[in-house]
Amino acid sequence: MVKIPAFEVEQWMDTYENTPGVLNIAETCASSISISQLAEFHSKSKDGSAPPVIDFSRPMTYGAIRGSDELRRNIAALYEGGDDHAAGALAPKDIIVTPGAIAANHLVFYTLIGPGDHVVCVFPTYQQLYTIPETLGAEVSLWRLKAEDQYVPDVSELERLIKKNTKMIVINNPNNPTGATTPRAVLAKVIEIARKHDIIVFSDEVYRPLYHGLPESDIPPSALSLGYQKVVATSSMSKAWALAGIRLGWIASRDKGIIEQLAMARDYTTISVSQLDDQVARYALSAEVRPALLRRNIELARTNLALLEKFVQDHADVCSWVKPTAGTTAFIRFSQKNGKPIDDEAFCKDVLDKSKVMFLPGTRCFGHGHDFNGFVRIGYVNGTDVVQKALENLHAYVAEHLS
């Protein structure tokens, strides 16, 4: 049997997120909304003529196997035509719906990667993206993001990591945990290298399009929109759309062969997704709802990031960061006043114990044998009241304990 290492982020969340009285700033979803709140984002909600979110009269059949046409049309509309005008916009046939991005990611690796393959994966990132290919018998090279590069991947390093058997390059844009954006020009170079070596580019875009810190002109497109066929992108309703509880994600690709391979493998684990989830997601991504919902989440991210930035500035003697430009997470390094990094795991446990504030230790959850001494990941797009109170408590903790 394959030995499956612990998924550290998920284990940490599971262990601590139900601590009584917890101020959870570990969670990475834009503060989740209810179905009733979702209905209020509909452009016709004010005059009472908005349709209901769920049609309760529908028989609960399996529904459309790959996801309803309407949902897949709405998902396709999230991707621009891109630089390759010949490629055009995405269509429903280019999308497969899955139970969350976590299942989408798993399916991509399970279908496309096996023993003898080599995979390059940006690092740090969501552990699933390098651990699953390893458990499938592939060799994985980590492509390190560095604070001194603002966590933008260094493409010359990518060239050095490519081998004869490199099957896939895995990127994560916007990145978890750093909140950094990979710019369009860098994406284009990644695509150029992949094309030269005939490598699949797999882009986890679960935090797209939560671009809240960049001028419009600097917002990169999806990796799907740069004119290369062999790109697979995943995403979901959890982060930018504040609907993690419906467990709805997807895989998108312009490569018909890849989509058919994925659909065939998916038959063994997922007949279809919940038809209630499909209805909610299609409503949230409809042209009448999507703009207002995204605006709410971008505004929430901006408001809360300003609070976090003030905290980092006020505590510059003990913490430092590369300010995030997108997504919901920040990777912050804490040290003693003498500059010695704190033990991040002991720090997270002690902060939770003494001040009820929960966030994640960098080394344990993102280290994979490498060391992120002193780093913690904070999810700052939770409710503003939670973030505010958590930062007040953290301020008091730091004043007393980081000398």
Ligand X SMILES: Cc1ncc(COP(=O)(O)O)c(C=O)c1O
- Burial of 240: CB neighbours in 10 Å, binned 0-12, 13-18, 19+: buried
Q: What is the distance between the alpha carbons of residues 319 and 28, in angstroms, rounded to a whole number? A: 21
CB atoms under 10 Å from CB of 376, counted, come to: 27
Min dist CB 203 to ligand X, Å, is 10
Decide: is 363 part of the binding site for ligand X (CB under 6 A): no
With a CB cutoff of 8 Å and minimum separation 6, the contacts of 297 are: 30, 210, 240, 241, 242, 381
Min dist CB 28 to ligand X, Å, is 5
Number of residues this chain uses to bind ligand X (CB under 6 A): 14
Q: What is the distance between the alpha carbons of residues 344 and 360, in angstroms, rounded to a whole number? A: 8
Among 82, 133, 213, 249, contact with ligand X (rule: CB under 6 A): 249
Per the CB < 8 A criterion, the answer to whether 97 and 72 are in contact is yes
Among 101, 122, 170, 298, contact with ligand X (rule: CB under 6 A): 101
Decide: is 204 part of the binding site for ligand X (CB under 6 A): yes
Among 236, 272, 275, 286, contact with ligand X (rule: CB under 6 A): 236
User: What residues from 263 to 282 belong to the interface with ligand X (CB under 6 A)?
Assistant: none
Decide: is 206 part of the binding site for ligand X (CB under 6 A): yes
Decide: is 109 part of the binding site for ligand X (CB under 6 A): no
Of 176 and 275, CB closest to ligand X: 176
Q: What is the residue type of 249? A: G
Min dist CB 143 to ligand X, Å, is 15
With a CB cutoff of 8 Å and minimum separation 6, the contacts of 246 are: 237, 274, 276, 277, 280, 281
Decide: is 131 part of the binding site for ligand X (CB under 6 A): no
Decide: is 82 part of the binding site for ligand X (CB under 6 A): no
Min dist CB 48 to ligand X, Å, is 32
Decide: is 358 part of the binding site for ligand X (CB under 6 A): no
Decide: is 143 part of the binding site for ligand X (CB under 6 A): no
| Stretch in the footprint of ligand X (CB under 6 A) among 99-107, 110-118, 221-229, 364-372 | 99-107
Q: What is the distance between the alpha carbons of residues 285 and 104, in angstroms, rounded to a whole number? A: 18
CB atoms under 10 Å from CB of 172, counted, come to: 28
Report which DSSP code applies to 245.
G
Q: Which phi and psi (to 5°) does residue 218 adopt?
A: -95, 0
Among 78, 102, 108, 358, contact with ligand X (rule: CB under 6 A): 102
Of 30 and 158, CB closest to ligand X: 30
Binding mask 164-203 for ligand X (x = CB under 6 A): --------x---x---------------------------
Q: What is the distance between the alpha carbons of residues 185 and 7, in angstroms, rounded to a whole number? A: 32
Decide: is 222 part of the binding site for ligand X (CB under 6 A): no
Min dist CB 378 to ligand X, Å, is 14
Decide: is 98 part of the binding site for ligand X (CB under 6 A): no
User: What residues from 10 to 69 belong to the interface with ligand X (CB under 6 A)?
Assistant: 28
Tokens 């496309």 sit at which residue?
A: 112
DSSP per residue over 318-355, as a string? Answer: TEEE----BSSEEEEEEB-TTSPBP-HHHHHHHHHHHH
Binding positions for ligand X, rule: CB under 6 A: 28, 100-102, 105, 126, 172, 176, 204, 206, 236, 238, 244, 249
